[in-house]
Structure formats: C-alpha cells, structure tokens
Structure 1
Amino acid sequence: MFEHKLSPNSPQNTAAKICLTNQAGEPVEFIYQGVRFHINSVLTTWLQSSSWWQQIDSDQINEQVSRYWQVEAAPIGALTTFEIEFNQGDNSWQIRPSSRGK
C-alpha cells in the first residue's frame, strides 16, 4: 500500500458519517468526502475536555468531553491518517486528516 496525501484545501473539520463501530463504540469504518474508509490500525487515542474554566463566572458549568482516535484508514490501495473525534456532549462525530504519527 502507499500513503495517500489529501489536497491542502481539503476541509479540516468535516462532519463524519460513521458506518460501523465495534462493541466498545470505537469507529471501524467511516465515509470521508464521499469515500468509504476502513480503519486498518489505531495509532493513538485520547480524551479532551472543553474549556470549562472559562465559564467560572456563569451559574452553570458545562464540561464536555471529546474522545479522539488517530487512525490509519484506507479505501482499496490508499492509506491515509485521520483524527476522529466523538463529542460525548452532543453525540457528534468529526473527522480531519492528520499527519502520520511516527
């Protein structure tokens, strides 16, 4: 396989269509720019919380946590690295291409 480079003017934060998840809720397949990708490997995962400390003066603090996966995924013959985000607060998915982790 070869690594597929996305064009520099590709959208950086595209709403995701996750086609398949495993029993743990992790993405297995997704559609990005009209192409269906299968995740070959998960490079890393992490959690990130919203900037709740900026809401200290408000009556209600609303912390949102997003879970991220950096993955290598491919349609037939083209390997590409993506970051996939699942926002637990609003149950939304986002996908963006990323540089390959080493």
Structure 2
Amino acid sequence: MLDVVAPAGEPLFFTWRGRSYRVYSVLSRWCESGGWWQRASTENSPENSTTSESGINDGARTSWRVEAAPEGALAVYDLERDESSGLWRITHHG
C-alpha cells in the first residue's frame, strides 16, 4: 500500500512497503489523459457517473518524478495520482 502526504497537491512524504520516505526534490511532473473518447458512450450511462472535480471522468492521472529516501542514498520514484479516485501508486522506482 502507498500512502502519500501531499497537502498542496505536491508529494512531500510517502510510506511504501512499511518505510517512510521524504521527498527531497521534484524532478518533473506530467499529466496523462485516460482516453475518454473511447469510453464516452458507456460512461454517460447513470450507473457509470463517476466524475472528477471538473465534472468529467477521463481517467486522467498526474505523475511526479521525485528524489526521495528513507535514510541514506537517494533514489528516483515515479508517483502517480488518479485524478478521479485520488488514489496514489508507484509506477517506477530505482
């Protein structure tokens, strides 16, 4: 499980695999849409009415490439936030 502390939207700390990591620097940030045009007809039905703050659920995700470490050597992690659900995940580390 990944738990991210991001009070202003940008990650400051995260806990992953039982260890707490401090974010020392954000190397880059990017957004990806989720191909809303492929799902538009099925998502317009009442049972699929989940939306983001903008009112549109396009499956958008925002990612941050950060340098972080629990203690010791820094490593690079890609943290991704699903804009609709607000859930975070690590998509790359190393």
Q: TM-score range by the shorter chain?
A: 0.7 to 0.9
CA shift, 1:97, in A, is 3.0
CA shift, 1:65, in A, is 1.4
AA in 2 matched with 1:79 = L
Q: Provide the alpha-carbon RMSD of the alignment.
A: 2.0
Match of 1:84 in 2: 79
Distance 1:31 1:40 in 2: 14
Q: Which runs of 4+ in 1 moved over 4 A?
A: none
1:58 to 2:47 alignment:
no
| 1:58-88 Cα shifts (integer Å, max 9, x gaps) | 3628412111000010111121110011111
Match of 2:2 in 1: 16
1:38 to 2:22 alignment:
yes
The total of aligned residue pairs comes to 83
Residues 71 and 57 of structure 1, relative CA distance in 2, 3 Å threshold: same
Match of 2:33 in 1: 49
CA shift, 1:57, in A, is 4.6
Question: What is the aligned-residue identity percentage?
Answer: 34
By percentage of residues, which structure has more helix? 2
CA shift, 1:43, in A, is 0.6
Distance 2:43 2:26 in 1: 39
AA in 2 matched with 1:93 = W
By percentage of residues, which structure has more strand? 1
**Unaligned regions of 5+ residues in structure 2, if any?**
45-55
Report the TM-score, using the length of structure 2 for normalisation.
0.75
My pick for the range that moved more, 58-67 or 88-97, is 58-67
